[in-house]
């Protein structure tokens, strides 16, 4: 079995020290400055000054499968065991610790955290340790052998909370020292860099629109004054049913129009009175006059009555404004007493789970049918519906359907459409959340150089599909890139 390389990571063994007081929990603790070779990192801020202070003895060891960090507390050792590739805590392991003729098994106390009592420890010294690890990781059984050296020479006489849980800090060279307990708490995850070919994404400007077959408007067909239904006007975001009364419209009638209507009513009243009299007279002469004249008189009376009812109803009759479909109120531009003109839009309705994206492409020929869009941290998938045959602003309009699950995004929201092209590019695919900006505004990713050490690296990248980005320069094959928790590392000062 291959013996893993040994990484000696004692933070007390450096000669050049500067001074910093680091506030941690209820008090202060002191940390040594560590000078490391470095390349592309953020030099925008003055490096903190650090001075040597009491820290618990630490050691680390790693193999192709595991990364182990040990912290000595008296005669007890706390072990933090992570997946060497992903930095995820590994649980359910059997760990045997051996030193010369002594051996002990560690007990798991939390996910990826183990504890053992090294009862054979005597006077402060350098103790070589061997770890035999068995268990399962990512569904596969494995065995591993690691070795490290435990240096207990400078074990402090008094152990304080600040020693067991030291704070993370930015070092003079821009790197970040973050202890394993904090990494577990923040969920720091990594992924080995792997160069691969993929299709380039082309960014298009777009905006969210409503599906025309799943949206509607409520407009006026004549001028008038708005009134509220008994339950009040519907509010933004309220769900309504087809046919539900949204508002009333009292038609606007001028004094001249009202006078003409009243004159027409008076004339109809006079004609109706005469028709009633004629019908009654003919009815009294039934048998002496033909029945058809009597029926004709009745029909005339009935016709005049209907005309009067229709004309009377039109004077001051309210128009009912109803919802044309089931949906959600998108906009509402009404108040009681509001005067509107014919064709004014009072309400818009839409179905939030049926939205489209309209974008413009200056060369749509190489673009694939599938795409993605992002806006304000939200990413969603798209499927092309159609492409316009007429240029719009010298570009081809392309319509996309937002695929389920449809995010809660408003109609009209600007979005960036990332349409896959036929051009092949090579690089390292990382989640977009892995990319950060340093103090100079340059793009970086964080590399996991050592068990408790992270280094910023300048990169060049391009978006792929909203959730993923392609790093084209700055990384090397096998670099452990932080893909979750990069923002927490960037906040360390």
Say if residue 27's pLDDT is above 70.
no
| Rounded Cα distance, 317 and 331, in Å | 26
Check which CATH number belongs to the domain holding 229 and give it.
2.40.50.100
Say if residue 176's pLDDT is above 80.
yes
Q: Are 56 and 157 in contact (CB under 8 A)?
A: no
Q: Do 323 and 242 have their domain in common?
A: yes
pLDDT number for residue 45 = 33
Check which CATH number belongs to the domain holding 467 and give it.
2.40.30.170
**Tokens 């531009």 label which residue?**
333
Say if residue 15's pLDDT is above 50.
no
Place 121 in a pLDDT band, splitting at 50, 70 and 90: confident
pLDDT number for residue 316 = 61
Q: Do 346 and 397 have their domain in common?
A: no
Q: Do 127 and 228 have their domain in common?
A: no
pLDDT tens readout for residues 195-239: 999 999 999 999 999 999 999 999 999 899 999 999 999 999 999
Q: Do 344 and 412 have their domain in common?
A: no
pLDDT number for residue 6 = 32
Total number of domains constituting the chain: 4
Q: Do 326 and 406 have their domain in common?
A: no
Q: Do 370 and 440 have their domain in common?
A: yes
Q: Do 32 and 110 have their domain in common?
A: yes
Residue 230's nearest CA partner among 244, 241, 240, 220 is 244
Q: Do 259 and 249 have their domain in common?
A: no
pLDDT tens readout for residues 260-271: 777 888 888 888
pLDDT tens readout for residues 397-424: 999 999 999 999 999 999 999 998 888 9
Mean pLDDT for 337-350 is 95
Q: Answer yes or no: is 364 within a domain.
A: yes
348 against 101, higher pLDDT: 348
As a whole-number percent, the residues of the chain with pLDDT over 70 amount to 86
| Rounded Cα distance, 358 and 376, in Å | 17
Q: Do 281 and 333 have their domain in common?
A: no
Place 185 in a pLDDT band, splitting at 50, 70 and 90: very high
Mean pLDDT for 371-388 is 90
Place 315 in a pLDDT band, splitting at 50, 70 and 90: low
Q: Answer yes or no: is 124 within a domain.
A: yes
Mean pLDDT for 466-472 is 90
Q: Which domain holds residue 363?
A: 195-209+353-490
Say if residue 18's pLDDT is above 70.
no
Q: Answer yes or no: is 142 within a domain.
A: yes
Q: Answer yes or no: is 1 within a domain.
A: no
Place 279 in a pLDDT band, splitting at 50, 70 and 90: confident
For 464, counting Cβ atoms within 10 Å of its Cβ (0-12 exposed, 13-18 middle, 19+ buried), the class is: buried
Check which CATH number belongs to the domain holding 11 and give it.
2.60.40
Minimum mean pLDDT range among 47-51, 109-113, 174-178 = 47-51
- If you write DSSP's letter for every residue of 338-384 in order, what string do you get? -EE-TT-EEEEEE-TTSEEEEEEES--TT--SEEEEEETTEEEEEEE
pLDDT number for residue 467 = 84
**Largest Cα–Cα separation, the chain:** 142
Q: Answer yes or no: is 282 within a domain.
A: yes
| Rounded Cα distance, 474 and 450, in Å | 18
pLDDT number for residue 401 = 96
Q: Answer yes or no: is 190 within a domain.
A: no
Say if residue 183's pLDDT is above 80.
yes
Q: Which range is most confident: 11-15, 378-382, 443-447?
A: 443-447
Q: Do 27 and 170 have their domain in common?
A: yes
| Rounded Cα distance, 34 and 14, in Å | 7
Q: Do 344 and 377 have their domain in common?
A: no
Q: Do 306 and 325 have their domain in common?
A: no
pTM: 0.66
């Amino acid at each position: 079995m291959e013996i893993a390389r040994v990484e000696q990571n004692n933070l007390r063994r450096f000669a050049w020290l500067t001074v910093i007081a680091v506030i941690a929990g209820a008090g202060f603790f002191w940390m040594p400055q560590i000078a490391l070779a470095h390349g592309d990192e953020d030099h925008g801020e003055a490096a903190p000054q650090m001075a040597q202070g009491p820290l618990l003895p630490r050691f680390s060891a790693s193999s192709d499968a595991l990364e182990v960090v040990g912290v000595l507390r008296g005669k007890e050792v706390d072990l933090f065991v992570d997946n060497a590739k992903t930095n995820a805590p590994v649980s359910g392991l059997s760990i045997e610790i051996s030193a010369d003729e002594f051996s002990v098994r560690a007990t798991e106390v939390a996910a990826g955290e183990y504890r053992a009592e090294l009862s054979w420890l005597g006077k402060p010294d350098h103790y070589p340790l061997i770890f035999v690890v068995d268990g399962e990781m990512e569904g596969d059984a494995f065995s591993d052998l690691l070795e490290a050296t435990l240096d207990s020479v400078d074990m402090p006489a008094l152990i304080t909370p600040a020693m067991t849980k030291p704070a993370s800090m930015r070092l003079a060279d821009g790197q970040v020292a973050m202890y394993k307990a904090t990494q577990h708490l923040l969920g720091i995850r990594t992924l080995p860099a792997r160069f691969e070919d993929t299709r380039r994404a082309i960014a298009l400007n777009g905006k969210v629109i409503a599906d025309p077959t799943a949206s509607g408007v409520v407009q006026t067909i004549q001028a008038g004054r708005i009134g509220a239904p008994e339950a009040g006007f519907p509010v933004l975001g309220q769900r309504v049913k087809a046919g539900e009364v949204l508002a009333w419209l009292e038609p606007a009638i001028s004094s001249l129009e009202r006078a003409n209507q009243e004159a027409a009513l008076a004339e109809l009243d006079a004609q109706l009175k005469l028709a009633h009299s004629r019908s009654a007279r003919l009815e009294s002469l039934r048998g002496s006059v033909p029945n058809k004249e009597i029926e004709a008189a009745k029909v005339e009376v009935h016709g005049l009555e209907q005309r009067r009812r229709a004309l009377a109803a039109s004077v001051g009759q309210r128009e009912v404004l109803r919802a044309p479909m089931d949906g959600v109120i998108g906009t509402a531009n009404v108040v009681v007493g509001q005067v509107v003109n014919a064709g004014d839009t009072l309400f818009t309705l839409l179905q939030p789970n049926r939205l489209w994206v309209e974008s413009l492409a200056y060369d749509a020929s190489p673009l694939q049918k599938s795409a993605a869009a992002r806006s304000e941290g939200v990413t969603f998938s798209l499927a092309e519906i159609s492409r316009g045959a007429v240029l719009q602003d010298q570009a081809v309009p392309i319509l996309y359907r937002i695929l389920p699950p449809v995010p809660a995004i408003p109609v009209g929201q600007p979005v960036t459409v990332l349409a896959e092209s036929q051009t092949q590019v090579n690089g390292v695919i990382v989640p977009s959340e892995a990319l950060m900006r340093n103090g100079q505004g340059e793009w970086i990713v964080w590399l996991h150089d050592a068990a408790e050490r992270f280094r910023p690296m300048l990169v060049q990248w391009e978006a792929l599909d909203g959730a993923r980005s392609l790093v084209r320069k700055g990384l090397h094959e096998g670099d452990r890139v932080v893909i979750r928790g990069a923002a927490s590392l960037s906040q360390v000062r």
